Structure formats: C-alpha cells, structure tokens
Structure 1
Amino acid sequence: MLRQKLGSVTNLLRRTVPRASMMTMGTIAEVTRCTRLRCFNGLMQFNHDNMTGVALAADLANIAAAGTPTCDDVQQLLVTHQIRRPDVTTTSRAEILAWGLRLHAVFAQADTVRRCGELNELLTCSATRLYLTSHDGLRPHLHFVRDDDNLVHRLMAVTAGGLALFLVYSEGLRLGQCARATCSKVFVDTSRNGRRAYCSSRCGNHDAVERHRNKHHRPRHC
C-alpha cells in the first residue's frame, strides 16, 4: 500500500515537477522504502522517537502494579526518564499510579485488536492534540500536550501517545506481560526476533528449571 501511494505521488510529480527535481523525489521514496523494511523485517529500529513514551509507560505500569511506592519512588523513576519538572505530590502520586494500572492493561492484552481498544480509551482522555516543540535545544519533535501543562497530564499524554506511535511501528506487537505465573511485570520487546516472553532472564530461568523438574518428577503408572 505504501509503495502504491509513493508510486502515485511520484507519477503525479513527474508530470508537474521539472526533471531535475525528480532525483530528490526518488531519494525520498527510496529512503521511505528502506525505513519501512528496517522497521518490519525483524530489524525494527528503536530510537528516541518511538521509545521515550513506551519505555516510561512500561515502568509506570510496573511500579503501579508492584504495591505502594512512595512519592520519592515515583519521582526518582521520572527523573530517570528525564521528565521535566518531576515534583510528585501526594495527590499527583495517586493519579500517576492509577494511570499506571491503566497502562498495565494495554501491555497485558495478548490480542492486538483488544490492545488497540484499550489504548484508544487512554488516548481519548490524554493525547487529544499535537504540538510541535523544540525545547531544551532539541530538534523539532512532537508532543501530545502543551509544555506548560501539569505533571500528570504530561505523563498521561507522553505515555499514551508514545504507545500509539510504537504500536504503529511494531504492527501492534512487541508489548507483553511476563509469562511466569507469579510475575505481573510488563515489558517492551526490543529483541531481534520479537518473541520475548519474560520480563527478565531470572523469570525465564525460573520457568525453565520448573519445567525441567516437572518433566523428571512425573509419577510413573504401572
């Protein structure tokens, strides 16, 4: 579909744009084609634009599901993710943790359609507008909320919007919940083959040991 659209645009420009300009259009088409191939042939590129919001979303989901983190715990997480003006109050802490649980539900969905449905619910109350910004000397990039909005609204927008962008790049995949029965942690799958099943090697090793024990300790029937 993308190739067809690019072909239509290129044909239109071939009739209306001087020939000398067509090299530029051909280059754009080739770059777009190559970028798509890099993203969807198992070599998806993970960068600031498609990882900032989704990585924060995973950590917020996990800290919210872990128990009762303090204001300092939440604030330290935000500092780690370089969130500006990260001062967490008792009120904002409760709102952030409630949002984290809603983010957790997006990761926990195994079905892509349901996952998108869960995320659409979050988008309707957070990332409703786009803003172009170049704060702190960074190159122009998109925000889903005004720079001067409060902390909770900024977190809601950057996580929901970031998840939406990531799911577009990953074709609705590469989000998951740990396969270990006693672990509820969620994760972003940045593996080469996109088949990650556990939040950590520790959980994966634990399940491997359990499977080995069960295999060799099955009762024998006469």
Structure 2
Amino acid sequence: MQFNHDNMTGPLLAADLVNLAGGGAWTAQEARTVMDRHHIRRSALTSSSSKQLKQWSLRLRSAFEPGGVEARCAAINALLDAGASRAYLTSHDQLRPHLHFASDDDAVVARVKAVTAGGLAIFAVESDGGRLGVCARAGCDTAFVDTSRNGLRAYCSARCGNNDAVQRHREGASKSKA
C-alpha cells in the first residue's frame, strides 16, 4: 500500500508527540523542535500551552494502543471530538490541496490537536483502521506509524526487532539445555 505523504503530517506528528511525552524528556523546546520538524507554523509555546500540549500528547497514545479496528476508531473519534473544530480544503504555500481541521488563526495547541486528530482519522481510513502501533519488544513503548508495504510492522525499529529476536533465541536455547 502506498501512502500519500502529504497526508502523513498528522499521524507522524502524533507518534512523535506521544513518544516525547512518554519518554520523560518533555520540554517546551523539545516540543517546538518536534512541531518544527513537521512544519507546524507559529509553534511558540508558553509554559501553560506546553502543559496543555503534553496532556494532549498523552491522550494521543490511545490511537496507537493495541486493539481492534473498532477500538482504534473509537479512540480516534474521541480525539476528533476534542480536537477538530471544522475541516476545510486549502492549498497554501504552493502545496497540493489538503485538509485543515482548524483555522490558522487558532492557538498552536488547538492547531496541533486538529492536525493530529484529523491526520489520524485520514490515516485510519487509508489503512483500514490499522497500521498504528506500539513496539512489541518488552520494555519499549515507542509508538509508530506503519508505512511498510505489507503492513505487518510490530516494532518501532529494526534494532528493537533484532533485539527481540536475539532475546527469543536465547530463551529458546536456554530452555533446550534444561
């Protein structure tokens, strides 16, 4: 499955914010860095808005947690209810036409809520409700967006997948010796 990378800002931003909030390294500067990487314009954060954004980021995790399509749809619908004010089509900055879920005049937290909730919804439609996950390696809770061809990604990175395979191999070898 090929994904339109123009529509990937929301889910990728959501995953990065979830991981920043869950990693214990949250600062307003780190959050701004994440937003800048995803081209969120006017991303200045006050102490208060940084706290609001962190709370939203913790809430975004529900879209990545294990569960079936119905659970994921319910989680994303709750995010849409809380974060998207209205959808409209735009083509600013020489970009292709795309959807916005909040006005450019809204405060940065409202815009991030809208782009993440709306982006997760679009991605869920394009991926048949799947392809959002949390790393399967014990001890790693990194959220990810699966854009692989086969859609069977279970780990946040090849490193985690390899570490898990080595661990399973060692456990199997120790059981066969016993």
Match of 2:8 in 1: 51
Match of 1:153 in 2: 110
Report the alpha carbon displacement of residue 68 of structure 1 after superposing the two structures with TM: 3.7
Counterpart CA distance in 1 for 2:96 and 2:135 is 36
Deviations 1:128-186 (A, max 9, x none): 31122232233332210111110000000000000000100110011111001100101
Counterpart CA distance in 2 for 1:220 and 1:202 is 27
Counterpart CA distance in 2 for 1:137 and 1:209 is 47
SS at match of 1:217: helix
Q: Which stretch shifts more, 174-183 or 60-69?
A: 60-69
Counterpart CA distance in 2 for 1:108 and 1:164 is 15
CA RMSD of aligned residues (A): 1.4
Q: Is residue 144 from structure 1 mapped to residue 101 from structure 2 by the alignment?
A: yes
Matches within 5 A, 1:191-206: 191-206=148-163
Deviations 1:52-74 (A, max 9, x none): 11111111111111114211111
1:58/1:186 contact within 8 Å kept: yes
SS at match of 1:109: coil
1:107/1:186 contact within 8 Å kept: yes
**Larger relative contact order, structure 1 or 2 (CA cutoff 8 Å, min sep 6):** 2
Which 5+ residue runs of structure 2 have no aligned equivalent?
Answer: none
Counterpart CA distance in 1 for 2:93 and 2:5 is 15
More helix by share: 1
Counterpart CA distance in 2 for 1:219 and 1:194 is 33
Q: Percent identity?
A: 55
SS at match of 1:218: helix
Counterpart CA distance in 1 for 2:118 and 2:99 is 10
Q: Report how many aligned residue pairs link the two structures.
A: 178
2:7/2:98 contact within 8 Å kept: no
Counterpart CA distance in 2 for 1:74 and 1:50 is 21
SS at match of 1:212: helix
Match of 1:214 in 2: 171
Which 5+ residue runs of structure 1 have no aligned equivalent?
Answer: 1-43
Q: Is residue 189 from structure 1 mapped to residue 157 from structure 2 by the alignment?
A: no
1:84 maps to amino acid: R
Counterpart CA distance in 2 for 1:191 and 1:48 is 13
Match of 2:88 in 1: 131
Report the alpha carbon displacement of residue 220 of structure 1 after superposing the two structures with TM: 5.2
1:110/1:176 contact within 8 Å kept: no
Report the alpha carbon displacement of residue 101 of structure 1 after superposing the two structures with TM: 1.0
Counterpart CA distance in 1 for 2:59 and 2:116 is 11
2:127 maps to amino acid: S
Counterpart CA distance in 1 for 2:54 and 2:90 is 27
SS at match of 1:183: coil
Report the alpha carbon displacement of residue 88 of structure 1 after superposing the two structures with TM: 1.7
Matches within 5 A, 1:59-208: 59-208=16-165
- The TM-score with structure 2 as length reference comes to 0.94
Larger Rg: 1
Deviations 1:192-213 (A, max 9, x none): 1100010011111111111111
